[in-house]
Chains A and B, each alone.
Chain A
Amino acid sequence: MLKLKYFGAVAEKIKVQEENIPFSNSSLQELVDALEQKYDLSSLSYSIAVNQKIVQDTNNYMLISNDVVALLPPFAGG
């Protein structure tokens, strides 16, 4: 299983703040691509964290079961 957490405009677009999905052996980038397609996220920009750590090199990051993946868009209000 993978736990997904969404914030800000990403959560608003997906309409949930958290969800669990079955684990499949994939890279972080493959997961993000799938989410982007499923939820039409291409207009949004966000950073990605796994287990509360920001990951830059998403292509070479292999997920393992029970990872918690967060999509973190920048906020602009003030």
Chain B
Amino acid sequence: MRYNRQIILPEVGEKGQEKLSHAKVLIIGAGGLGAAILPYLAAAGIGEIGIIDDDSIEISNLQRQVIYKSDAIGKSKALEAKEMALSLNPSIQVNAITDTLNAKNAIPLFEYYDVMVDATDNLHTKYLINDACVVTNKPFVYGSIYKFQGQVSVFNYQNGPTYRCLFPDESSNSKNCVDSGVMGISVGIIGMFQANEVLKMVLEIGNVLSGELLIYNMLNNDQQKFDLVRTNAIALNRLDFEKKYNVVENTVLEITANEALEQMENPDVLFLDVRNEEELPKISLPNTIQIPLSELEENLDQLDSNKTILVYCQSGIRSKKAAEILKKHQFLKVQSIAGGALKLQGIIATNAVSVS
């Protein structure tokens, strides 16, 4: 009886309901989009739903994350979301995962679930979802908001285009809701579009929004679709994935100037000065090479990736960027020297460290 109104649709029927009950869907993020998507998938009878988020509920969430009650402030979003979904439909299974999605848990999770729904609020995680979906060959239901506009698409569906085919530039810094503001209704509308794509995929009805980007404008109801094609088919395998993410995420990027100077006689350590040539003070350490940050990417062949590379600039900001660039290019042992040349110079001067 619970599903009668949808089962009487010929496009769904008993068979479709059976498909829904066997589907496993992972919702990544229990914020505004997640709060819109989850109740509808649960109510429709998706057999198993995972919801992953490590956040707890804050009062400023409640204007758009409408599944949470005021007395739940401070509690775990994933756990509260699970409780809400189960009280709505106790016949399904809901798995709450109180963690952030990261390179370590993404692959096993994505192998388990059939469809991944992006309900995140940052670009970094969207690329992670995309790449993990490519590795595990699973579809990625994308949804995102900028103020009164929303984007929706389904990536990596039956060999269709991926997020990287649409936005290859990973370095862009688009604002999230905290930075730019959002109405609850906007995330609700976009979340509904996403939930609808999930149901169409599971039921195998209609046309899935693959190879198309939908942009919806809440202020004038303008709705546009843009076609995209799969480009430079990013055949990412599991090893590439682990290299790309684990390295970047897990290693500490900084080392203190003192610790760095202790390494100065170590033949396996290379000091990299990313300042411009004219910058002072000059630090003369053995095993030093100078490549200005702006020229670093073109001159990577000058560096030995087997060595530990300790990067410094004037104060420790450019060197962090340099360390990130190096990590991206598979230099595994890279650290940025906190405080940079100014700090190094100070220690050398006061301790009279012998510089050969």
B187 and A8 within 8 A (CB)? no
- List the B side residues contacting A49 at CB < 8 Å: 226
Given contacts A7-B215, A47-B167, A56-B231, contact A74 B172 (CB under 8 A): yes
- List the B side residues contacting A9 at CB < 8 Å: 146, 174-175
Residue of B31, B143, B175 with most partner-chain A CB within 10 A: B175
Given contacts A8-B149, A9-B175, A54-B166, contact A76 B226 (CB under 8 A): no
- List the B side residues contacting A77 at CB < 8 Å: 32, 121, 144-147, 175-177, 180, 182, 187
Q: Report the Cα distance A78→B182, complex, angstroms.
A: 9
Q: Report the Cα distance A49→B224, complex, angstroms.
A: 12
Chain B: number of interface residues, binned into ranges: 35 or more
A74 and B144 within 8 A (CB)? yes
Name the one of A45, A53, A70, A72 contacting B169, with C-beta atoms under 8 angstroms.
Answer: A45
A14: min CB distance to chain B, Å: 14
- List the B side residues contacting A52 at CB < 8 Å: 224-227
Of residues 21 through 48 on chain A, the ones whose CB sits less than 8 Å from some CB of chain B are 44-45, 47
- List the A side residues contacting B172 at CB < 8 Å: 44-45, 73-74
Does B151 reach chain A (CB closer than 8 Å)? yes
Q: Is the interface of B mostly helix, strand, loop or mixed?
A: mixed
Q: Report the Cα distance A53→B213, complex, angstroms.
A: 10
Name the one of B119, B175, B227 contacting A76, with C-beta atoms under 8 angstroms.
Answer: B175
Chain A: number of interface residues, binned into ranges: 20 to 34
B149 and A7 within 8 A (CB)? yes
B227 and A8 within 8 A (CB)? no
B145 and A75 within 8 A (CB)? yes
A76 and B121 within 8 A (CB)? yes
- List the A side residues contacting B180 at CB < 8 Å: 77
A45 and B151 within 8 A (CB)? no
Q: Report the Cα distance A49→B215, complex, angstroms.
A: 13
- List the A side residues contacting B34 at CB < 8 Å: 78
- List the A side residues contacting B231 at CB < 8 Å: 56
Chain B residues in the interface with A (C-beta under 8 A) = 29, 31-34, 118-123, 126, 143-147, 149-151, 165-169, 171-177, 180, 182, 187, 213, 215, 224-229, 231
Chain A residues in the interface with B (C-beta under 8 A) = 7-9, 12, 44-45, 47, 49, 52-54, 56, 70, 72-78
Interchain residue pairs with CB less than 8 A apart (9): A9-B146, A54-B213, A72-B213, A72-B226, A75-B144, A75-B150, A76-B121, A76-B175, A77-B177
